[in-house]
Amino acid sequence: MKDFDELCRRRFLGGSAASLGAAALSDLLGGGGLRGDHDGPVKKPPFAPRAKSVIYMHMEGAPPTIDMFDRKPTLDRFDGEKCPDELMNKERFAFIKGHPKMLGHKHGWIRASNGIEMCDLFPHLAQQMSDVTLVRSMFTDQFNHAPAQMFIYTGSPRFGRPSMGSWLTWGLGSGNTDLPSYVVLVSGGKTPSSGKSVWGSGFLPSVHQGVQCRTSGDPVLYLGTPPGVDGVTRRDSIDAIQALDRIAAERDSDPETLTRIEQYELAFRMQTSVPEVMDVSQESQETLDMYGADASQASFARNCLLARRLVEKDVRFVQLFDWGWDTHGTNPSDDIIHQLPLKCKQTDRPVAALIKDLRQRGLLDDTLILWTGEFGRTAMNEERGGSQYLGRDHHPHSYTMWMAGGGVKGGYVHGETDEFGYSITKDPVHVHDLQATVLHLMGFHHEQLTYPYQGRDFRLTDVHGKVIQDLIS
């Protein structure tokens, strides 16, 4: 009798949960019975977007943008001298100890196509700056790598929030039902310090998380049909699994079951579409040379070319992470004398080619490009442990990023920093402001793109952020 009572109790609670869950889900999705909130057809944004796709390039480790885009002659004059006391007042550093010395620029400067000065390590990008908006007044709340990366892409330094790409694909849907709407490409040999959560979907349906495609071998592991299985058998197997999943979905009203159904279908379509779009050998030798890409070798250059191919196929959000920019100056592999020129050489040509290629193909106006790190670098030499190599510590108070295409001004410089590049003196742009501006360019008001979770409405910008209208053309 005890077992019977327990069984009845389980059935009652399970059935009640399913019924209540079905009612809640139906109400959440606007009625019309059980349906999934996954990619599906293109959704119309609330107002006319300036961009249809985003290519977001993250230089993992936080490059010393003060040495790249924000020349400070005063910093050169103070090179090697003790840091002014006012810069040390109540300051917190990640690694600097004692009273550090100022560190001047160690590379030359050139005039870009829009007349601004920029580091001579970017000769190709300099030719494309007439299409670029340079933001010299970015700042963040975080000064360690993983939290700062999470903050940029999820709006929170802690795990569990959806990434920017997930918010946009949830809000807009997919532009191509045969490809993921959110693709991630990684170069430099390592994934970001914050791990794969920076392209996770958090509490949004998991179909909106980024799909990391490998740039050598199979683009997506285990995507191909197993040896000895033909296409018909594969299709029949998926149909059988889908039938069981639909039964479970009707019974349990679990949105993740609906997500699983969509993922199976997408994976089946991707077997043909992904290898095709990832095959850069279809490009002309002239195009490969323009990017500096080898069709057979994984690289940042190849990823930039792949990003163009993906937005051509209406992929909504393409995220590029390139590792190796953490220039502390503890050895030649992380200093500004050896490592910085190496990373600039690896990225200068392909980034410039991406802007040029999109413009030539008529895609730049519809594609928003962003280039950034997670924070800035100090005006002082870190000199960790007495190191003789030159490098800069973490600095959240000011750094430079840039944007191109997709409705932003071309040849424009926004914001200013002080004579040492240490503090912002004009037109500050917080990370939440950048997020709000990106969403605006994609057709959304950042305060209205919300998702109910744990009793309140969440959004990418949390309870902050404003659109920086001066960046928009």
The pair of three-digit structure tokens given for residue 365, joined into one six-digit string: 């106006």
- The CA distances from residue 430 to 12, 57, 247, 303, 396, in Å, are 51, 18, 47, 28, 10
Q: Which residue has the higher pLDDT, 20 or 366?
A: 366
Confidence of residue 447 (pLDDT cuts 50, 70, 90): very high
The pair of three-digit structure tokens given for residue 220, joined into one six-digit string: 């997506």
Cα gap 306→321, rounded to integer Å: 13
pLDDT at 40 over 50: no
Q: Helix 145-154 and helix 431-441: axis angle, to 10°?
A: 30
Can you give the three-state secondary structure of 404-422, one letter per residue?
EECCECCCEEECEECCCCC
Sign of the torsion formed by the C-alpha atoms of 271, 272, 277 and 280: positive
DSSP strand pairing (182-187 vs 317-323): parallel
Greatest Cα pair distance, the chain, in angstroms, is 89
Which of 20-34, 43-57, 253-267, 442-456 bottoms out in mean pLDDT, i.e. has the lowest?
20-34
Confidence of residue 18 (pLDDT cuts 50, 70, 90): very low
Helices and strands per DSSP (H, E), number in the chain? 12, 17
Tens of pLDDT, residue by residue over 154-190, are 999 999 999 999 999 999 988 888 899 999 999 998 9
Stated pTM of the model:
0.86
Q: What is the pLDDT of residue 90?
A: 83
Confidence of residue 393 (pLDDT cuts 50, 70, 90): very high
Alpha-carbon radius of gyration of the chain: 24
Tens of pLDDT, residue by residue over 270-280, are 676 778 888 99
Q: Amino acid identity, residue 345?
A: K
Tens of pLDDT, residue by residue over 364-391, are 999 999 999 999 999 999 999 999 999 9
Tell me what the mean pLDDT of segment 399-426 comes to. 98
CB 462 within 8 A of CB 155: yes
DSSP strand pairing (367-372 vs 399-405): antiparallel
Among all chains, which residue has been given the structure tokens 């694909």? 169
